[in-house]
Amino acid sequence: MRILHVYKKALPESMGGVEQVVHQLAQGAAERGMQVTVLALTSSNTPSTRQYGNYVVHQAKGDFEIASTGFSLSVIKQFASLCQHADVVHYHYPWPMMDLLHLLIRPKARSVLTYHSDIVKQRYLLKLYSPLMRWMMRNVDRIIATSPNYLESSETLQRYKEKVHLIPYGLDKESYPKPSEDAVGQWQKLIGPKFFLFVGVLRYYKGLTTLIEAAKGTKYPIVIVGAGPLEQDLRDMVKADSTPNVHFLGQLPDADKTALLNACLAFVFPSNIRSEAFGISLLEAAMFGKPMISCEIGTGTTYINIHGQTGIVIPPNDPMALRRALKSLWDDPISAKEMGAKAARRYASHFSADRMVSDYAEVYRSLIA
């Protein structure tokens, strides 16, 4: 079986959550004997075709962006060519360019669309894009929702509910570096034996200003790993507010990230709007057996983190509620450890990469049978 994944970005150039999911799907399908190709844009002036793990990544040069959405002319020709050798084209929404590709080329291959998120911020542009988006939703063979929470709360998914299947994200723990005791100890020596951790791209919907407000005037060390468009603004906020317990570590290699996940007391993920449809970093925390603090925003974050069992769920944009959640885990490390153990068990039963890939393989097979 030949699978073509289509998304605006791909590993290793971009390290976002959707890119991680595409990688896990592609790698897992290839290990099951499928021939897997990923098509994505690149900002490089020299796009390439390369082997990445067990699959092939084809890059097309991005020509311009509108509202952080890349467009390309050369990708049309590449898509048309790759479609001729695919049994299933697997689209990853939202990316309007892929809708155009499907409209222009009309591939003979069967089609799957994973619905990663509603379009939340670009309301103006959404009105222009909506006719094409609705056409795309009508014309793909299957739509995949990533959590029951998002399926129930998304107006778009509800509109096409008869063709929607539910397959939660999954991660393969064996694909992550195993941190040494020395690496874990070094981070704890540098930061302290107890600290809270955030990992992610520093974007507007991550709720990090709320986290900094919650940390102000407390003793709790807060470690922020990642880079992004808001990084300098957040650093300036910490400096202006004299919040020395908030530490920015920037983008780190996976080995350091897993060491920090092992070393931390708990994971904080205060995303505040529906652009955060699931939260791969949150799922990584569960995988490493850490209690979590997240916000109720009607998405998959609350499918990963069950309030009172695997962590604490609070209202979004509420610094005082977040401060109380931090205090609760800080003051009761035994309960925090119990919640972390439940988080690890929930990951194993609901969110393994093997389970995700098997469910997608079943969808692929049903389409070409």
Give the pLDDT confidence of 6-28 residue by residue, as tens digits. 999 999 888 888 999 999 999 99
Q: Do domains 2-172+352-368 and 173-350 have the same CATH topology?
A: yes
Domain boundaries, the chain: 2-172+352-368, 173-350
Distance in angstroms (rounded) separating the CA atoms of residues 332 and 3: 48
* Architecture of the domain whose range is 2-172+352-368: 3-Layer(aba) Sandwich (3.40)
pLDDT in tens, 304-330: 999 999 999 999 999 999 999 999 999
SS3 at position 300: coil
What's the token pair of residue 253? 């290699």
What percent of the chain is modeled with pLDDT above 70?
100
- In tens, the pLDDT along 62-89 reads 999 987 789 999 999 999 999 999 999 9
Cα first-last separation, the chain: 11
Which tokens in the block code for residue 91?
């689209």
Task: Report the CATH architecture of 173-350.
Answer: 3-Layer(aba) Sandwich (3.40)
What is the token pair recorded at 362? 């079943």
Q: At what angle do helices 254-263 and 181-191 cross, to 10 degrees?
A: 70
Q: Give every strand in the sheet of 196-199, ordered side by side.
A: 246-250, 222-225, 196-199, 266-269, 292-295, 311-314
What mean pLDDT, rounded, does the chain reach?
Answer: 95
pLDDT-above-90 percentage for the chain? 91
> pLDDT tens string for the chain (369 positions)?
999 999 999 998 888 889 999 999 999 999 999 999 999 999 999 999 999 999 999 999 999 998 778 999 999 999 999 999 999 999 999 999 999 999 999 999 999 999 999 988 777 778 889 999 999 999 999 999 999 999 999 999 999 999 999 999 999 999 999 988 999 999 999 999 999 999 999 999 999 999 999 999 999 999 999 999 999 999 999 999 889 999 999 999 999 999 999 999 999 999 999 989 899 999 999 999 999 999 999 999 999 999 999 999 999 999 999 999 999 999 999 999 999 999 999 999 999 999 999 999 999 999 998
- Contact criterion met (CB below 8 Å) for 166 and 348: no
